[in-house]
Amino acid sequence: MIMLDKIFKENIQFSKYGRSGAIVLTRNKNTAIKLKQAGWNCYLKDDIFRLNPPTLNLVDIVDIEKSLQYQNLIFNYSLYKYIQLLNKKRKLEDYFFNVIEEHKIFFKDFAFHISIGPILKYAVKIEGSDSRIYKFKPYLIEYILEDKNFIELYNKYITLFGDKFNIKQEYIKKENVKLQESYIKQYKANNCRCKNRTIKVDFSQIDIEQFDYIIFILNGCFKIMPYFDLDKYKNKIIFWEIHIDKTKGTNDVGDLEKLKNKSILVIDSIYSGKTMLYIKKILKNITDKISILGVFPKSDSVANICDYIIVLNKVIKKCEDGFNIEKEIIKILGG
C-alpha cells in the first residue's frame, strides 16, 4: 500500500523554478499510476515519471484571473496581507493545522506544504498529498471569516480602496477566437481551452506595433493570448517551445535567421525568470532590439528581468527604479 502522506513529505525540495515543493522521480509505473489517481501531475520522459502533487493557489494579487477567484479584489488583497502577517508572526502553519483539526476525519492521513521561495512574494501556494487539498480552501476561508482580526483588516482596506478600481470583461472578436482555436490545435495543447471572454487589459504603456516579431512561449502562452488582438498581429506572431526543466520536453526555437537585427517582443508567464534569461542568451548574437513582457510576475526581483510586466489588468513599463509590484497593485485598486 502506498502511503501518500509519507511519499509527499519525503520528497519536498527546492525546484529549478525557485520554490519549494514535492517532486517524485520514479521508473515504477505502479507508483506513478497511484500518485496520478491521487491528483498528482505526471510527465514521462526517457522511462522516468516526474510527478508533482496537486497545488492550491490560495491567493495571488498579480494574476487577474486568480485574483478574481473570490469575486472581490479587496478581499483577495486583504487575505494576502493577513497571510503575510500570520507568516511574520510564525503562526501560519499552526493556523492551517487548526483548520485541518476542525475537519480531522476528512483530512485523515493528509499532508500539506506551504510553498516558499523568492519567486512567491505576491502569491501563496499550498501543495497537498492528494486532491483533498482543493477542499482545504473553502474550509480555510470559512475559518478566516470568523477571525475578527482578519475582519478588522478587511474593513481597513474597504475604507482605503472603496470601489475606485474598474476591472472590465470583454467579448473576444470572432477572428481572435478562431486564431486561438487554430494555434491550440496546431500545437496539440490538449489542456488549454479557447476563451470567448477575457479581461480588458490596459496596453497604453507599450506600443506593440513597433515590434517586427512577437514571440509567444509555449505552452503557457495560451492563457495569455486572449488578452491580445491576435488578428491584428498575426503576421508577427512566432511560437517558441522552451523548457528549463528538461523532463517536461525539448526546446524548439525555429528559424533564428529571420530575426536577425529585428525588433522582438518576447511574451511569457514569468516565475523564476530562468526562461527569459535563456531566451536573452539565445538572441544575444541575433539582435540587440529585444524587449521582454513578463506576465504576472510574483516577485519584484524576477519582474526586473523584464522591460514590461502585466499586473492585474495593466501593462507596466519599467522605470529607472525598476518595478515595485505592490505599489502598482495599490494604484490599480485605487489606494
Beta-bridge partners for 13: 21
pLDDT digits (tens, 9 = 90+) for 227-258: 999 999 999 999 998 877 666 667 778 889 99
**Residue partners of 189: CB distance under 8 A and separation at least 6:** 218, 219, 222
Give the Cβ contact number of residue 176 at 10 Å. 22
Look at residue 252 in the predicted model and tell me its pLDDT.
79
Look at residue 334 in the predicted model and tell me its pLDDT.
83
CA 154 to CA 148: how far, in whole Å?
A: 10
Answer for the pair 316, 309: CB distance below 8 angstroms, yes or no.
yes
Round the CA-based radius of gyration of the chain to a whole number and report it.
Answer: 21
Q: Mean pLDDT for each consecutive 10-residue tract of the chain (335 residues)? A: 88 82 93 94 88 95 94 94 94 94 95 91 95 95 96 93 75 94 89 90 95 93 93 95 73 87 95 90 93 95 95 95 94 84
Check the CA dihedral 298-281-209-171 and report its sign: negative
Look at residue 253 in the predicted model and tell me its pLDDT.
84
Q: Where are the domains of the chain?
A: 1-163, 169-333
Answer for the pair 180, 194: CB distance below 8 angstroms, yes or no.
yes
Look at residue 258 in the predicted model and tell me its pLDDT.
93
Residue 125, φ and ψ in degrees, nearest 5: -115, 140
Look at residue 58 in the predicted model and tell me its pLDDT.
95
Look at residue 189 in the predicted model and tell me its pLDDT.
82
Question: CATH: 3.30.70, 3.30.420, 3.40.50, 3.60.21. Which one for 169-333?
Answer: 3.40.50
Look at residue 2 in the predicted model and tell me its pLDDT.
77
| CB half-sphere exposure, 210, CA atoms < 13 A | 7
Which residue, chain included where needed, has cell 506572431?
Answer: 237
